[in-house]
Amino acid sequence: MERLLHLSAKKSRRIAGLMSGTSADGIDAALVEVEGAGRGTRVKLLAFQTLPLEGELRQGVFSLFGEEGSLDELCRLNFALGAAFAEAALAVIAGAGLRPEEVDLIGSHGQTVRHLPQGRPASTLQIGEPAVIAQRTGIPTIADFRPADMALGGQGAPLVPLVDFLLFNHGLRGRALLNIGGIANATILPAGGEAAQVWAFDLGPGNALIDGAASHFSGGKERCDRDGRGAAAGQVDEGLLAGLLAHPFLHLPPPKSTGREEFGAGLLAEWITRHQRSPADWLATLTAFTARAIAGGLERFALSRTPVDEVWVSGGGAHNPVLMAMLQEALPGLKVGRLDELGLSVDAKEAVAFAVLANETLMGRPGNLPSATGARRPAVLGKICLV
DSSP string, 274-311: HS---HHHHHHHHHHHHHHHHHHHHIIIIITTS---EE
Report whether 337 contacts 178 (CB < 8 A): no
Is the pLDDT at 62 greater than 90, yes or no?
no
Helix (H, G, I), strand (E, B) or coil at 106: strand
**273 and 210 inside one domain:** yes
pLDDT at 324: 98
At residue 301 the predicted structure's pLDDT band, cuts being 50, 70 and 90, is very high
Domain that holds residue 292: 161-342
Is the pLDDT at 320 greater than 80, yes or no?
yes
Mean pLDDT of 60-80: 90
pLDDT at 255: 87
Helix (H, G, I), strand (E, B) or coil at 108: strand
pLDDT above 90 as % of the chain: 86
Host H or E run for residue 30: strand 26-35
Higher per-residue confidence, 257 vs 79: 79
**217 and 141 inside one domain:** no
**142 and 183 inside one domain:** no
Is the pLDDT at 67 greater than 90, yes or no?
no
**298 and 336 inside one domain:** yes
d(CA 268, CA 284): 14
- Which of 54-58, 276-280, 376-380 is least confident? 54-58
Mean pLDDT of 197-203: 92
pLDDT at 293: 98
Report whether 213 contacts 320 (CB < 8 A): no
d(CA 183, CA 312): 16
**221 and 128 inside one domain:** no
Report whether 110 contacts 20 (CB < 8 A): yes
Is the pLDDT at 23 greater than 80, yes or no?
no
d(CA 368, CA 379): 6
**Beta strand pairing status for 141-143 and 123-127?**
unpaired
pLDDT at 257: 87
Q: How far is residue 362 CA from its own chain's centroid?
A: 22
**335 and 209 inside one domain:** yes
Is the pLDDT at 48 greater than 80, yes or no?
yes
Report whether 100 contacts 85 (CB < 8 A): no
d(CA 288, CA 241): 8
**292 and 206 inside one domain:** yes
**200 and 131 inside one domain:** no
**330 and 380 inside one domain:** no
**154 and 165 inside one domain:** no
Number of domains in the chain: 2
Q: Is 232 exposed, middle or buried (0-12, 13-18, 19+ CB in 10 A)?
A: middle
pTM of the model: 0.91
pLDDT above 70 as % of the chain: 100
Is the pLDDT at 361 greater than 90, yes or no?
yes
**58 and 179 inside one domain:** no
**91 and 167 inside one domain:** no
**Alpha-carbon Rg for the chain in angstroms:** 20
DSSP3 helix / strand / coil % (the chain, rounded to 5): 45, 20, 35
Work out the mean pLDDT of the chain and round it to a whole number. Answer: 95
d(CA 132, CA 311): 38
Is the pLDDT at 56 greater than 90, yes or no?
no
Whichever domain contains 53, its CATH number is 3.30.420.40
Is the pLDDT at 107 greater than 80, yes or no?
yes
